[in-house]
Chain A
Amino acid sequence: MNEITTILISTIAAGTPILYALTGDMIGQRAGIISLSVEGSMLVGACIGFGVAYRTQSMTLAVLAALAAGGLVGFLQAFLAIDRKTNMMASGFVLMFFTQGLTAFYGRTLLDVSFRKPLTFPLPFLSEIPVLGPVLFSQDILTYLSFLLPAAAWFVLTKTKLGLLVCSVGERPEVTQAYGHDPRKIQYAAVIIAGMLAGAGGVQMSCVYTMSWSNDMINGRGFIASALVILCSWKPLRAYMAAYLFGLAQALLVYLQVKGVPISMYVTMMLPYLLTLAALGIISTSKKPSMPEKIKVISTGP
């Protein structure tokens, strides 16, 4: 196999779960709520999705279950952060620890089982394009959908009335209210959608990417996604860049070692974070990020 193809396949595989959680959390943050709980949503999505996939042998049901489970964690985050006015960072952390325990407990029976249904649907002709064909057109449905996801989020958030409403809640909720809409309901919906998309990322990771469930398998990817939202300056189309940058760094971590490139192993292990930090630095100096007002209040004070 072409080596660039190898790297790109790893990039897409490692980037897709992040892409889902990242786009989801971006919608939530545009409505003014940061959901560190996307880590928890990914975990329950991965665990419950894999369990349903194994028992029913149906990927459709698995995705539906993961959406529901991830959305439920999103709902808890919404309840705590919106109705109970808890610190949204703290509630996100607590939900992560809660789901770690919960999935470790319910995932016990899934540690030794397999779900080996072939999920790849190569598109005719397109998948035979050299180099990029196998990368872009020989994937599973969840990955195909992820290619469209940030574009769809961009369209909804910037081109529709619904998107305007979501963003207005994150900027000036009193204006939303004056126009006769309940900001609370919109925030709830945005945070639940963030959880659902993160759940989809989780089930992609367990059923498609690693083909297994193991304890705490998300391993901080949800937090990374949440942080990458800032890297994207809350602009949905940049989600492609951020998620695949992280995926590329993970792919390179392995590739450089396989090829015996004389770079210290510890430097390659830093790569995912180094690249992300570098990109963060570049973006935050070159242009004022379009941070939603409600989040500005949290990070810089009123």
Chain B
Amino acid sequence: MKIRNQWFALLLSLCLLPALAGCAGDPYAGGPAAGDGTLRPGEGTEKAAIILGGTKDDYGFNYGMYQMAQQMEDELGIEVVIKENVPQNADVEGIMEELISQGCRIIIPSQFGYLEYTKNVANRHPDTAFYSIPITDYTGDNFSTMHGEIQDIWYLEGVLAGLYTKTNNIGFIGSIPIPDVIVAINAFTLGIQSVNSDAQVTVVFTGSWDDAGLQTVSANQLIDGGADIIAPFQDSVKSVIEVCASRGVHAFGCNADAYELDPDTWLSACVNTGDGWIPYMRDAIAGKYETANISGSFDVQLQDLARYGDSVPQEIRDQVDAVKQQIINGEAYVFEGPIYNQAGELMFAEGYRPPIEEINMINWLAQGINGTLN
């Protein structure tokens, strides 16, 4: 018995050897012209890398980033390496060093937790261009920021929902009340109220980004309560869409175009678009890198509305598109006063258009929302 076990262990380790071999290879071999300091950031690179906190096929934020990687490959003709499930700690420095040694000289960190370490790596590699997705103070030299703002898009989703609902009852499944989520809930509700003063919005927080069980319970109870549209702010929206499909109601997505999951149940979503980045990266590759610090939505082509679902009628699409045009022209502004909070207190005075810094500081829910942040 004992001898057999030892043979078994030996055999097992032999089977695992090829896996180890895959990790071999010199991690710091140095890519083409790495570190010689004569190149502008990103100049002449044939490879870029996107660093994700989750897996690329979550039909949420990470899938949106993956879709953008494909757009970069198509339009810039470079190879885009995707690193998934990267923890938000110092490990990311080693991963970035490895990517740079493989020749990736455009690097896109997607999570806030990477940025501190990204700045260290950026200081060591002045010939590599870094584009941060989250908004940050580190911007400068070869460290650029391209932050997509979501309030305009969620407002449009609200307009769509307000026009589309038949029960005048709309459910929102929030994750954790961080600024982006609070902004989304408020913008969504203001959009609904702009076209439908009778509609109610009920917000539920699950305290988690991707708990399928809690998503299911939340969606079912909101639908039991009369909701005919569910808007999730969750990383993975698959189970929400399945529940909505089985109950015959409709759902938005979150941060990715997941139209193909169920074209009939799908309404739309807020998505990243690469259109705003591509010119900057094209310049960088051509040796004309400039530090960018951009924050915005469709005005700077960083965010847009995803495809409409099959069940969205043409007149609603036209109306939503008209509002979008008004926002682009500056005729409409999502958080333009007067805006009241749940208690009925005036938060933004008549005609006041708060700047983005003030919008990101919102820690209250707008009048007409059922739910609590406390």
Which of A9-17, A28-36, A148-156 touches B? Answer: A9-17
- Please tell me if the beta carbons of A260 and B261 are within 8 angstroms of each other in the complex: no
> Which residues on the B side are within 8 Å of A209 (C-beta)?
213, 216
Interface string of B52-79 (1 = CB under 8 A from A): 0011011100000000000000000000
> Which residues on the A side are within 8 Å of B374 (C-beta)?
264-266
- Bound-state Cα–Cα, A262 to B370, Å: 11
Q: Which of B212-229 contact A (CB under 8 A)?
A: 212-218, 220-222, 224-225
Tell yes or no: B98 within 8 A of A by CB.
no
- Please tell me if the beta carbons of A10 and B220 are within 8 angstroms of each other in the complex: yes
Name the CB-closest residue of B to A262.
Answer: B372
Tell yes or no: B312 within 8 A of A by CB.
no
User: For the side of the interface on B, what is the size category?
Assistant: 35 or more
| Centre residue among A114, A212, A216 by max chain B CB count within 10 A | A212
Q: Which of B177, B220, B245, B262 contacts A9 (CB under 8 A)?
A: B220
> What count of chain A residues pass the 8 Å CB interface test?
38
Interface string of B224-267 (1 = CB under 8 A from A): 11000000000010110011011000000000000011100000
- Please tell me if the beta carbons of A221 and B213 are within 8 angstroms of each other in the complex: yes
Tell yes or no: B93 within 8 A of A by CB.
no
Tell yes or no: B104 within 8 A of A by CB.
no
- Please tell me if the beta carbons of B203 and A257 are within 8 angstroms of each other in the complex: yes
Q: A10-B220, A212-B242, A254-B221 are in contact. Are A219 and B213 (CB under 8 A)?
A: yes
- Bound-state Cα–Cα, A216 to B216, Å: 15
Tell yes or no: A116 within 8 A of B by CB.
yes
- Please tell me if the beta carbons of A210 and B218 are within 8 angstroms of each other in the complex: no
| Centre residue among A213, A215, A262 by max chain B CB count within 10 A | A215
Which of A104-112, A170-178, A286-294 touches B? Answer: A104-112
- Bound-state Cα–Cα, A216 to B372, Å: 28
Chain B interface secondary structure, helix, strand, loop or mixed? mixed
Closest chain-A Cβ to B178's Cβ sits at a distance in Å of: 13
- Bound-state Cα–Cα, A219 to B203, Å: 23
Interface string of A250-279 (1 = CB under 8 A from B): 110111011010101110010000000000
- Please tell me if the beta carbons of B59 and A111 are within 8 angstroms of each other in the complex: yes
Closest chain-A Cβ to B245's Cβ sits at a distance in Å of: 7
- Please tell me if the beta carbons of A254 and B239 are within 8 angstroms of each other in the complex: no
Name the CB-closest residue of B to A118.
Answer: B246
- Bound-state Cα–Cα, A298 to B39, Å: 62
- Bound-state Cα–Cα, A145 to B364, Å: 46
- Bound-state Cα–Cα, A217 to B206, Å: 14
- Bound-state Cα–Cα, A114 to B261, Å: 8
- Bound-state Cα–Cα, A216 to B238, Å: 13
- Please tell me if the beta carbons of A254 and B213 are within 8 angstroms of each other in the complex: no
- Please tell me if the beta carbons of A254 and B262 are within 8 angstroms of each other in the complex: no
Q: A10-B220, A111-B59, A250-B213 are in contact. Are A219 and B208 (CB under 8 A)?
A: yes
Interface string of B29-68 (1 = CB under 8 A from A): 0000000000000000000000000110111000000000
Tell yes or no: B207 within 8 A of A by CB.
yes
Q: Which of A14, A212, A221, A251 contacts B239 (CB under 8 A)?
A: A212
- Please tell me if the beta carbons of A210 and B242 are within 8 angstroms of each other in the complex: yes
Q: Which of A224-268 contact B (CB under 8 A)?
A: 250-251, 253-255, 257-258, 260, 262, 264-266
Name the CB-closest residue of B to A215.
Answer: B55
> Which residues on the A side are within 8 Å of B370 (C-beta)?
258, 260
- Please tell me if the beta carbons of B210 and A1 are within 8 angstroms of each other in the complex: no
- Please tell me if the beta carbons of B216 and A210 are within 8 angstroms of each other in the complex: yes
- Please tell me if the beta carbons of A257 and B57 are within 8 angstroms of each other in the complex: no
- Please tell me if the beta carbons of A215 and B371 are within 8 angstroms of each other in the complex: no
- Please tell me if the beta carbons of A13 and B217 are within 8 angstroms of each other in the complex: yes
- Please tell me if the beta carbons of A258 and B372 are within 8 angstroms of each other in the complex: no
- Please tell me if the beta carbons of B204 and A258 are within 8 angstroms of each other in the complex: yes
- Bound-state Cα–Cα, A116 to B244, Å: 12
- Bound-state Cα–Cα, A262 to B374, Å: 9
Name the CB-closest residue of B to A11.
Answer: B217
Tell yes or no: A191 within 8 A of B by CB.
no
- Please tell me if the beta carbons of A257 and B205 are within 8 angstroms of each other in the complex: yes
Tell yes or no: B211 within 8 A of A by CB.
yes
Tell yes or no: A158 within 8 A of B by CB.
no
Q: A257-B205, A258-B222 are in contact. Are A108 and B57 (CB under 8 A)?
A: yes
- Please tell me if the beta carbons of A214 and B210 are within 8 angstroms of each other in the complex: yes
- Bound-state Cα–Cα, A217 to B58, Å: 12
Name the CB-closest residue of B to A46.
Answer: B212
> Which residues on the A side are within 8 Å of B211 (C-beta)?
217, 219
Q: Which of A111, A211, A257 contacts B58 (CB under 8 A)?
A: A111
- Please tell me if the beta carbons of A254 and B204 are within 8 angstroms of each other in the complex: yes
Q: Which of A78-135 contact B (CB under 8 A)?
A: 104, 108, 111-112, 114, 116
Interface string of B358-374 (1 = CB under 8 A from A): 00000000000011111
Tell yes or no: B202 within 8 A of A by CB.
yes
- Please tell me if the beta carbons of A14 and B238 are within 8 angstroms of each other in the complex: no
Closest chain-A Cβ to B258's Cβ sits at a distance in Å of: 8
Interface string of A185-214 (1 = CB under 8 A from B): 000000000000000000001000111111
Q: Which of B215, B217, B221, B238 contacts A111 (CB under 8 A)?
A: B238
Closest chain-A Cβ to B370's Cβ sits at a distance in Å of: 5
Q: Can you name 17 extra interface pairs (CB under 8 A) apart from A114-B245, A221-B213, A265-B177? A: A14-B217, A108-B57, A116-B246, A210-B215, A212-B212, A214-B58, A216-B210, A219-B212, A253-B206, A254-B214, A254-B217, A254-B218, A255-B221, A257-B203, A257-B371, A258-B204, A260-B202
What are 15 A-B interface contacts by the 8 Å CB criterion?
A6-B221, A10-B217, A10-B220, A13-B216, A112-B260, A210-B239, A210-B242, A212-B239, A214-B58, A214-B212, A217-B212, A219-B211, A251-B221, A257-B371, A265-B373
**A-B residue pairs, 3 tightest by C-beta:** A211-B242, A269-B207, A210-B239
